[in-house]
Amino acid sequence: MTDHTLSSPQPKQTRRLPQINPVYFILAALIVAIILNNPNFVEPSGYMNFLKRAAPLAILAAGQVYVIVSGGFDLSVGSLITLVVVGSSMLSNNDPSSTWWVICVMLGIGLGVGLVNGLVVCFLKVPSLIATLGMMITLNGIAFMWSGGAPRGYLPESFRYFGRFNIRDVPLIQMLPVAVIVMAVVGFALYWLMHRTNLGRMIHAVGDNPRAAQLAGVPINRVRVSAFVISSLSAVIAGILLGGFGGVSTDVGTGYELQAITAAVLGGAQLLGGRGSVPAAIAGALTLTAIFTLLNFLGLPQPVRQVVQGLILIAAVALAMYRRKRTGQ
Amino acid sequence: MSDATAGSVRAPAMRVRFERWAPALLLLAAVTMYVVACLATGQTQYLNWNNFLAVIGRSIALGITAIGQTFVILVASIDLSVASLISAVAVLASVVMNGDPAMIVPAIGASLILGAIVGLINGLIVTRLDVNPLIATLGMSLVIQGCLSAFVSNFAGAVPTQFQFFAYGNVFGLPFAILFFFALALIAFFVLRFTRFGSNIYAVGGNQDAARFAGISTEKVIIAAHVICSLCATVAGLYLASRLRSGAPWIGANGVYDLESIAVVVIGGTVLAGGRGGIWGTVAGVMIFSLIDSIFNVLGVDAFVKQVLRGIIIVAAVAFYAVRTRRIVA
């Protein structure tokens, strides 16, 4: 670091360029590509539906960033989404007035799941990969048990409001889905918590070097448990939105844990901790959704989607590592 | 650290010994629980040699995959692509054979080449591009699964009866698959314990920088570990094709071989951070897994409750050793 300050101002100029996270450029390019393919996308109904579809993943990715930055993984979010959707339909039992307390119960379950994840990782010293994998298997089993293996039907309309409803006749944009409002509010709250508070700084410190953070007086166990709790709560919110999108089934959440990690990594979060940003993770989630949308417009089948997702995942991390090596950070 | 050498020399020695015997203790506990469950429910007909073989035979595919997974985890890497590779190999082998005994050797050859290529690419992405192994192999898994489902959507091809010997044949009154599994475990044990490559694996997993400074070409070791892991997954795929008499693009994902093989390796005492563990722990882990299933079957546990308990047991088994570590785990 010292010889950087001593040398001529030239390295400063070259280092200013990578300041903007490349995920934003990729997202912009993808959106241009979508517009070229489908001019309707510039209409409010086009981009608002896009944002609505991306909202659950964006919220999930914003929560996942907390765990990734603190140095772990959370594989249990997908099954938690399933549990939220299945559990809500069992609890509400088609009674529209139950929505509020059901949501409170679900947030309570999320809090409990996050606490267990965090405590198992911190105090039983089980690596988070295994701890949350065990939680994933357990929660899937509970969802099956609760529904008797055959969940059915839809959630009551008042519950589906969050995922489904569009506020009409809004000036300038005509329609505003409630899911997008939820995404904006949760996204901003998580951004503020991560990048403007002490908790966020401590999460970064713990993920970067847990021993150093501990010696510096960071209550590492409390910080890491908070990260898992935040991730689980974001999964509950994503589950509530997804419950509004479609019917009740036991595979609503399948695959979301890996998509959330992919989105966070696209946003430049560093696996094993110490680096990551909430807005970039949300941009990563939008990028992933944009890629899927684009592939849909191009009429490519599901298998191609998988291949593209895999290649993009590897390319994004390889590029990030290359940049990091080149800038010497 | 300094006062540990001065005061209690015995304590660390005890801990190492505990870690070495923990898989055996867990296995013993599982066997005891199985016997008790059988006796308590009066199902003593399950307590015989044939049933014992059946219990082991149930998880041969998982066992073979886990032996390969042990190598990558020992070098502090991980492989999530094994499940889709298993599917791909099973389909490739059964399509190439297509019921013709003459095509058995070409099919096995093609499968092994596919496995070696996948392992090589995994290893190159991890070492040359510095991509986190979790992401690299997850991406690889998506690519393989996508390519596979683009071509096949159901059971494809057929396996000739001669090839079904792999899964159903008997040698000296013992199932061939079980003998094969233990032979593979024995070979893996010798490689890890008595060859230079084996000690290089432990060195690289323990501390990659130190290993590099000691003159070990760490990249080659990591790539070789990935190739071995993929080849083991290939063999597991061939076994499943032989057992199911045909290959389908979902058999790997349905068996959750990626995450379960990792869980088995970790239950067997191999540390995810690399450098510590061994093959016999993994073998014990595999047997613990199939014993747990058998215990549930004997007790007649509901399928969903079984899944819930399974998740809890995985975490509890890992916590059994991990709780003693002083380091801060990720």
In a domain, A141, yes or no: yes
Contact: B330, A314; criterion CB under 8 Å: no
Torsional sign, CA B209, B210, B211, B215? positive
Residues 6+ apart with CB under 8 A from B10: none
Q: In chain A, what residues touch B315 (CB-CB under 8 Å)? A: 120, 124, 126, 130-131, 134-135
CB neighbour class for B155 (10 Å; exposed up to 12, middle 13-18, buried from 19): middle
Please name which of B269, B271, B195 lies closest in space to residue B17, comparing C-alpha atoms: B269
A319 interfacial to chain B (CB closer than 8 Å): no
CA-based R_g, chain B, Å: 20
Tell me how far apart the alpha carbons of residues A71 and B192 are, in angstroms, rounded to a whole number: 30
CB neighbour class for B230 (10 Å; exposed up to 12, middle 13-18, buried from 19): buried
Q: In chain A, what residues touch B125 (CB-CB under 8 Å)? A: 314, 318
Kindly list the domain boundaries of chain B, sorted by start residue.
Answer: 15-322
State the first-to-last Cα distance of chain A, in angstroms, to the nearest integer. 9
| Model pLDDT, residue A20 | 77
Count Cα atoms within 13 angstroms, Cβ side, for B123: 24
A119 interfacial to chain B (CB closer than 8 Å): no
Q: Which residue has the higher pLDDT, B197 or B43?
A: B197
B301 interfacial to chain A (CB closer than 8 Å): no
Please name which of B140, B139, B93, B86 lies closest in space to residue B252, comparing C-alpha atoms: B86
Tell me how far apart the alpha carbons of residues B241 and B89 are, in angstroms, rounded to a whole number: 8
Contact: A130, B262; criterion CB under 8 Å: yes
| Model pLDDT, residue A184 | 94
A258 interfacial to chain B (CB closer than 8 Å): yes
Query: What DSSP assignment string belongs to A161-195?
Result: HHHH-EEEEETTTEEEEHHHHHHHHHHHHHHHHHH
A127 interfacial to chain B (CB closer than 8 Å): yes
Q: Which residue of B has its CA nearest to A265?
A: B135
Contact: B304, A128; criterion CB under 8 Å: no
> What pLDDT, in 10s, does the model give residues B283-302?
999 998 888 888 888 888 88
Tell me how far apart the alpha carbons of residues B14 and B5 are, in angstroms, rounded to a whole number: 14
Contact: A311, B145; criterion CB under 8 Å: no
Tell me how far apart the alpha carbons of residues B325 and B300 are, in angstroms, rounded to a whole number: 36
Interface subset of A 63-102, CB within 8 angstroms of B: 71-73
| Structure ipTM | 0.82
Q: What is the mean pLDDT of residues B133-137?
A: 88
| Model pLDDT, residue B9 | 44
| Model pLDDT, residue B24 | 84
Please name which of A246, A238, A263, A110 lies closest in space to residue A182, comparing C-alpha atoms: A238
Q: What is the mean pLDDT of residues B244-259?
A: 83
Contact: B319, A125; criterion CB under 8 Å: yes
**Residue pair A65/A278 in contact by the 8 Å Cβ criterion:** yes
- Name which of B132, B307, B328 is nearest A271 (Cβ-Cβ): B132
**Residue pair A265/A316 in contact by the 8 Å Cβ criterion:** yes
pLDDT at B1 over 70: no
- CA–CA min distance A60, chain B (Å): 18
| Model pLDDT, residue A32 | 92
Q: Which residue has the higher pLDDT, B321 or B104?
A: B104
In a domain, A17, yes or no: no
Q: In chain B, what residues touch A214 (CB-CB under 8 Å)? A: 328
Q: Which residue of A has its CA nearest to B150?
A: A303
User: Residue B270 corresponds to which tokens in the numbers above?
Assistant: 């191999």
Going by the DSSP 8-state scheme, the letter that residue B170 receives in this structure is E
Mutate to test the interface with A, among B318, B321, B323, B325 (most CBs of A within 10 A): B318
| Model pLDDT, residue B204 | 93
Q: Which residue has the tokens 């010798």?
A: B190
Give me the domain span that covers residue A286.
44-327
- Model pTM score: 0.86
The b-or-e profile of B157-196 (16+ CB within 10 A means b, else e) is: bbbbeebeebbeeeeeeebbbbebbeebbeebbeebeeee
CB neighbour class for B15 (10 Å; exposed up to 12, middle 13-18, buried from 19): middle
> Cα A82 to the chain's mean position, in Å?
15
**DSSP-derived pairing of the beta strands A166-170 and B174-175:** unpaired
In a domain, A34, yes or no: no
Q: What is the mean pLDDT of residues B105-130?
A: 93
CB neighbour class for A168 (10 Å; exposed up to 12, middle 13-18, buried from 19): exposed
| Model pLDDT, residue B330 | 64
Q: Which residue has the tokens 């004997």?
A: B298
Q: In chain B, what residues touch A311 (CB-CB under 8 Å)? A: 139, 143
Interface subset of B 216-275, CB within 8 angstroms of A: 259, 262-263, 266, 272-273
User: Residue B220 corresponds to which tokens in the numbers above?
Assistant: 């080659």
**DSSP-derived pairing of the beta strands A174-177 and B170-171:** unpaired
Tell me how far apart the alpha carbons of residues B327 and B330 are, in angstroms, rounded to a whole number: 10
Q: In chain A, what residues touch B141 (CB-CB under 8 Å)? A: 310
pLDDT at B12 over 80: no
Tell me how far apart the alpha carbons of residues B148 and B143 are, in angstroms, rounded to a whole number: 8
Tell me how far apart the alpha carbons of residues A261 and A136 are, in angstroms, rounded to a whole number: 15
Q: What is the pLDDT along chain A (329 residues), one digit of tens a residue?
A: 444 444 444 444 555 555 678 889 889 999 999 999 888 888 888 888 899 999 999 999 999 999 999 999 899 999 999 999 999 888 887 788 888 899 999 999 999 999 999 999 999 988 898 899 899 989 999 998 888 877 766 788 888 888 888 888 777 777 888 899 999 999 999 999 999 999 999 999 999 999 999 999 999 999 999 999 999 999 999 999 998 887 788 888 888 988 899 899 888 888 888 888 999 999 999 999 998 888 888 877 778 888 888 888 888 888 888 877 777 65
Going by the DSSP 8-state scheme, the letter that residue B101 receives in this structure is G
- CA–CA min distance B321, chain A (Å): 9
A131 interfacial to chain B (CB closer than 8 Å): yes
In a domain, A293, yes or no: yes
| Model pLDDT, residue A26 | 87
Tell me how far apart the alpha carbons of residues A270 and A273 are, in angstroms, rounded to a whole number: 6
Contact: B330, A325; criterion CB under 8 Å: no
A321 interfacial to chain B (CB closer than 8 Å): yes
pLDDT at B7 over 50: no
> Cα A307 to the chain's mean position, in Å?
21
Contact: A321, B149; criterion CB under 8 Å: no
Tell me how far apart the alpha carbons of residues A173 and A216 are, in angstroms, rounded to a whole number: 49
Tell me how far apart the alpha carbons of residues B27 and A240 are, in angstroms, rounded to a whole number: 42
Confidence of residue B154 (pLDDT cuts 50, 70, 90): confident
| Model pLDDT, residue B15 | 55
The b-or-e profile of B114-151 (16+ CB within 10 A means b, else e) is: bbbebbebbbbbbbeeebbbbbbbbbbbbbbbbbbbbe
In a domain, A1, yes or no: no
In a domain, A5, yes or no: no
CB pairs below 8 Å between A and B: how many?
163
- Name which of B129, B302, B307 is nearest A140 (Cβ-Cβ): B307
Total number of domains in chain A: 1
Other residues' Cβ atoms within 10 Å of the Cβ of residue A275: 17
Interface subset of A 3-62, CB within 8 angstroms of B: none
B308 interfacial to chain A (CB closer than 8 Å): yes
**Amino acid, single-letter form, for residue B5:** T
Tell me how far apart the alpha carbons of residues B145 and B85 are, in angstroms, rounded to a whole number: 8
In a domain, A37, yes or no: no
| Model pLDDT, residue A153 | 67
**Residue pair B320/B26 in contact by the 8 Å Cβ criterion:** yes
- CA–CA min distance B283, chain A (Å): 19
- Name which of B129, B312, B318 is nearest A130 (Cβ-Cβ): B318
- CA–CA min distance B89, chain A (Å): 17
Distances (CA, A) of B217 to B73, B77, B163, B222, B240: 18, 16, 39, 9, 35
Tell me how far apart the alpha carbons of residues B259 and B81 are, in angstroms, rounded to a whole number: 10
User: Residue B255 corresponds to which tokens in the numbers above?
Assistant: 């068996």
Tell me which architecture the domain covering B15-322 has in CATH. Orthogonal Bundle (1.10)
**Amino acid, single-letter form, for residue B87:** S
Q: Which residue of B has its CA nearest to A307?
A: B143
Please name which of B262, B12, B322, B317 lies closest in space to residue A123, comparing C-alpha atoms: B322
Please name which of A285, A315, A271 lies closest in space to residue A24, comparing C-alpha atoms: A285
Tell me how far apart the alpha carbons of residues B117 and B119 are, in angstroms, rounded to a whole number: 5
Q: CA angle A1-A266-A214, nearest 5°?
A: 50
Q: In chain A, what residues touch B263 (CB-CB under 8 Å)? A: 130, 133-134
> What pLDDT, in 10s, does the model give residues A250-305?
888 888 988 899 899 888 888 888 888 999 999 999 999 998 888 888 877 778 88
| CATH code of the domain containing A195 | 1.10.3470
> What pLDDT, in 10s, does the model give residues A217-264?
999 999 999 999 999 999 999 999 998 887 788 888 888 988 899 899
- CA–CA min distance B284, chain A (Å): 18
